[in-house]
Amino acid sequence: MNQCKTLLKKEWWINWKQLLLPVWVSLAFIGVCIIGLLIGLIKGKGITYFRMEGNFPPGFNNLFLFGSVQTLNIALGFLSIMVAIMLADNLINGGFKLKCEILHQSQPVSLTKILSSKYVFLILGSFIVYAVISFIGTLVITFTQMYFTSALFYFGFYAWLQSAVELFFTLIFVCSLFWFFACLFQRKSFFMGILTLIGIELAIKILNYTSALNIPSLLSYLSKFIKISSDPGFGKAMDLNVNTLISIVQANWKNILSNNTLLKLLYSAILTLGGSLFYKRRELI
């Protein structure tokens, strides 16, 4: 346990700047927003400038709150996933590139512990950073809209919660996929991974074309698992009554925690273990 804690600490010392990249980007975004707000105020447009204007049906404010929080979470989720992909390569190959892996692997600690701590750091680290920033962003958006449009807190909170849960499983899947590639390719693992996927897709297309087979597309199959946030289906609502909207939001859990989620976890486990096996076969030259 002590060794695992030390390994996690070491990963933090090495990778904290990269892990917190979404924080730096968010801070930069907030900075730009504040400057925009100040410019607006200086031009005399006042804070009401940001109020929604126009004739919207009652209940639309809740819908708008849900949508805006979801948009924020999709943007942050995408950023977090991209950072996690880079982090996966750094965690697996950083020591080899810098020729310092020998220091870490000359210690009496099993490769399983080393790899587990890297994986936990990758998934939990990325998710916690995402969850904290997105929650703060959600609170800011929600309270602002509650103040100006009397939207309900429930919609902001559930938009965040559902996005966070969905992103958690997507993050596991994408990280495991690129973890596998990072273990397989010591250099330029991201590009090599993408090339591998494109290569397989092309091979499928050629086979389908030449042999009249009907092998389904790998990329469209994978894209099913790379959703950051699902549409609860508000478009089908007969009215924008709060109770109707709440029931739609609650029904959305079925989309988020579905058989696809189980498949995501299953594939993630296979990719993680497969990658780890490749990693264990590496030589320390």
Partner 1 sequence: MTEESYIVHNVTKYYGKFKAIDSVSLELRQGKIIGLLGKNGAGKSTLMRCMLGFLNHSGEVYIDGNLIKRRDPKFFEKVAFIPDVSGLDDRLTVKQTIDYVKRINPKWNEVTANKLLEISNLPVNKKVSQLSKGMKTKLYLMITLSLDVNYLILDEPTLGLDIAFRKEFFNTILNEFYEGNKTIFISTHQVEEVEDILQEIVFIDKGKILLHEEVHTLKELFKIVSLPLEQSEKIMQYNPKVYTKNMGFMNAVLSSDIEIEGAIYGKANLADIFLAMVGGTNESV
List interacting residues with partner 1 (CB under 8 A).
2-3, 5-7, 9-10, 13-14, 94-95, 98-111, 280, 283-285
The whole-angstrom separation of Cα 137 and Cα 145 is: 12
The whole-angstrom separation of Cα 91 and Cα 103 is: 15
* DSSP helix, strand, coil percent of the chain (3-state; round to 5): 80, 0, 20
The whole-angstrom separation of Cα 141 and Cα 65 is: 8
The least CB distance from residue 102 to partner 1, in Å, is: 4
Beta carbon nearer to partner 1, 16 or 49 = 16
Which residue type occupies 121?
A: F
268 to each of 46, 169, 171, 241, how far by Cα in Å?
Answer: 50, 9, 10, 40
The least CB distance from residue 5 to partner 1, in Å, is: 8
The whole-angstrom separation of Cα 86 and Cα 69 is: 26
The least CB distance from residue 117 to partner 1, in Å, is: 11
Beta carbon nearer to partner 1, 13 or 221 = 13
The whole-angstrom separation of Cα 136 and Cα 142 is: 10
Beta carbon nearer to partner 1, 105 or 247 = 105
The least CB distance from residue 105 to partner 1, in Å, is: 7
The answer to whether residues 249 and 158 touch, using CB atoms and an 8 Å cutoff, is: yes
Beta carbon nearer to partner 1, 7 or 174 = 7
Beta carbon nearer to partner 1, 107 or 250 = 107
The least CB distance from residue 126 to partner 1, in Å, is: 19
The answer to whether residues 174 and 226 touch, using CB atoms and an 8 Å cutoff, is: yes
Q: Residue 224: how many CB atoms within 10 A of its CB?
A: 10
Beta carbon nearer to partner 1, 110 or 214 = 110
Tokens (6 digits) for 40? 């607006």
Beta carbon nearer to partner 1, 6 or 255 = 6
Residues 6+ apart with CB under 8 A from 88: 122, 175, 178, 179, 182, 189
